[in-house]
Structure 1
Amino acid sequence: MSLVDITTLDGVRTITIDRPDAHNSLNRALRLELKDAFAAAAADSSPAGDVRAVVLRASGKAFCAGQDLREQLEESRTGAGTDKVVTEYNPMMDALLSIPVPVVAAVQGAAAGAGWGIAMACDLRVASTTAVFKGAFTGVGLASDCGLSRSLADAVGQTRALELLLLDEPVSAGQAGELGIVTSVVEPADLEASVGELATRFAHGPTGSYREIKALVRDTRAVSERAGEEADAQGRLFRTADHLEAVQAFVEKRAPRFRGV
């Protein structure tokens, strides 16, 4: 069964993350399906294609809770998956960043870890009042991924990005609006219509102009390069005592006792 639903209507390509029973967390199958969906959207939004705007949304109560922790626990036990940031996450993000037309994210519930990174890689974000953004990296002794350290700094500045990622406090939809992380905040019942209206406006507008402006304003190459640097950091941290302690603490349902190593 597919974990990503794709539809195209009136110039708008809608990509729906459809793993609600796991809070749309990213396992290998979902990462690969999203990469293919983003790559197809990029190809179909070329000047000869029929896609003029893209919506990224998710089914259920959460946008994307980040890495699937069950998969992460299994990989920690077996030693597998240490290269997934390089071989799966970053190609997925490169495909998303390669889409030349406007990409609008509809965010409800949790957008955590890589889920936050995916949302920030979109051009505009419309959030439901239920949306909550969280890095969730320092809690497990890891670095950010999906280029979030760059895309978030681009949105809010380096000092505030450091504060948000280091302290790792949840950011409510209202706070996200004040910080400029999201374009607008709407009631849950209005999220689909608000995003649809915005995407339709783009789909009926001067697509060539939108492509050029997006290419000029967004430094997608810098985000992609930062994602590569984050992958290096993840590799250094994956086998540290603090990360292994965080994994063990999660299994034992207790707070981790970090030692700084």
Structure 2
Amino acid sequence: MSNTDIVTVADAAGVRTITLNRPEAFSSLNRELRLALIDAFTAAAADSATGGTVRAVVVAATGKAFCAGQDLREQLQDARDGTGKDKVFSEYNPMMAALLSIPVPVIAAIQGPAAGAGWGIAMACDFRVVASTASFKGAFSGVGLASDCGLSQSLTDAVGQAKALELLLFDEKITADRAAELGIVTSVVEPDALAETVAALAARFAAGPTASYREIKALVRDAAAVNARADDEGHAQVRLFTTHDHSEAMAAFLEKRAPGFTGQ
């Protein structure tokens, strides 16, 4: 087992568990966490390639949330300083490419909210086992931005174009039960059964025909399409960073009021 302050990585019986460990910030993604996840996902991909010892991967988080998406404090500081405009290309997209490159089954264990990029991470996993307390939310249009982490592709793959557009534009919270109805999640369990359920599924994969799983996953999951869409989303984010509506959303957040969008 190896640990950093912000991500933990543990191996047991062919299963690697990668845990986001920033509970005080709902595992929101700041630069330190993004870079740590790039390293963890890259190592998991290498260690689960043909001949590797890792036969299944679990992505989990400590605390009440799975991942709240972009760290808004960092985003506000970037807005003040005029920095961070390239982080989608330099950090987010490499993080997602590394996750998508893991060739064995990847299970997301989701105990609470998965929002923004956190939802993107969840959708890039192959299975999503969620507690009844879990939820999903885009949280992009509300701050005048586009989706990222390839979510516009992975969500469309899961629910179809019309429903994906509805979910991202309406930007309403999706409960665990509603996610199950939409086919977004594999199963919904009570919170105290989440760890056991995920462990049993991971153990099943770790004891299975791993070479077959790798080939089937490569045939079913179009990682290249998600990565290409993530690149398109990055360009959209750059265009939107300097819009009035995004600036207004950030100001409204600081002033604890509803934003007044002008469409500009």
**Interval of TM-score (by shorter of Structure 1 and Structure 2):** over 0.9
2:114 equivalent in structure 1: 111
Offset of 1:25 from its aligned partner?
0.2
Offset of 1:46 from its aligned partner?
1.2
Whole-angstrom distance in 1 between the partners of 2:238 and 2:50? 39
1:181 equivalent in structure 2: 184
Whole-angstrom distance in 2 between the partners of 1:28 and 1:187? 32
Find out whether 1:47 has 2:50 as its counterpart: yes
Q: Secondary structure at the match of 1:243?
A: helix
Find out whether 1:166 has 2:169 as its counterpart: yes
Whole-angstrom distance in 1 between the partners of 2:236 and 2:229? 10
Whole-angstrom distance in 1 between the partners of 2:261 and 2:223? 35
Q: Secondary structure at the match of 1:106?
A: strand
Give TM-score scaled by structure 2 length.
Answer: 0.98
1:88 equivalent in structure 2: 91
2:15 equivalent in structure 1: 12
RMSD of aligned alpha carbons: 0.5
- Letter of the 2:155 partner, please give it: L
Find out whether 1:126 has 2:129 as its counterpart: yes
Q: Flag structure 1 segments of 5+ consecutive residues without an equivalent.
A: none
1:140 equivalent in structure 2: 143
1:226 equivalent in structure 2: 229
Q: Deviations over 1:200-255 (max 9, x none)?
A: 00000000000000000000100000000000000000000000000001011000
Q: Secondary structure at the match of 2:108?
A: strand
Offset of 1:47 from its aligned partner?
1.4
Find out whether 1:203 has 2:206 as its counterpart: yes
Offset of 1:48 from its aligned partner?
1.6
1:77 equivalent in structure 2: 80
Whole-angstrom distance in 1 between the partners of 2:83 and 2:230? 20
Q: Secondary structure at the match of 1:177?
A: helix
- Letter of the 1:203 partner, please give it: A
1:26 equivalent in structure 2: 29
Whole-angstrom distance in 2 between the partners of 1:187 and 1:204? 25
Q: Secondary structure at the match of 1:71?
A: helix
Find out whether 1:191 has 2:206 as its counterpart: no
Q: Deviations over 1:108-163 (max 9, x none)?
A: 11100000000000000001000010000000000000000000000000000000
Q: Flag structure 2 segments of 5+ consecutive residues without an equivalent.
A: none
2:154 equivalent in structure 1: 151
1:249 equivalent in structure 2: 252
Q: Deviations over 1:24-50 (max 9, x none)?
A: 000000000000000000000011210
- Letter of the 2:87 partner, please give it: K
Offset of 1:198 from its aligned partner?
0.3
Q: Secondary structure at the match of 1:5?
A: strand
Give TM-score scaled by structure 1 length.
Answer: 0.99
Q: Deviations over 1:48-89 (max 9, x none)?
A: 210000000000000000000000010100001010000000
Whole-angstrom distance in 2 between the partners of 1:47 and 1:259? 53
- Letter of the 2:162 partner, please give it: T
Q: Secondary structure at the match of 1:43?
A: helix
- What percentage of aligned pairs have identical amino acids? 69
Offset of 1:19 from its aligned partner?
0.2
- Letter of the 2:129 partner, please give it: V
- Letter of the 1:41 partner, please give it: A
Q: Secondary structure at the match of 1:56?
A: strand
Whole-angstrom distance in 2 between the partners of 1:2 and 1:96? 20
Offset of 1:2 from its aligned partner?
2.0
Report runs of 4+ in structure 1 exceeding 2 Å deviation: none
1:98 equivalent in structure 2: 101
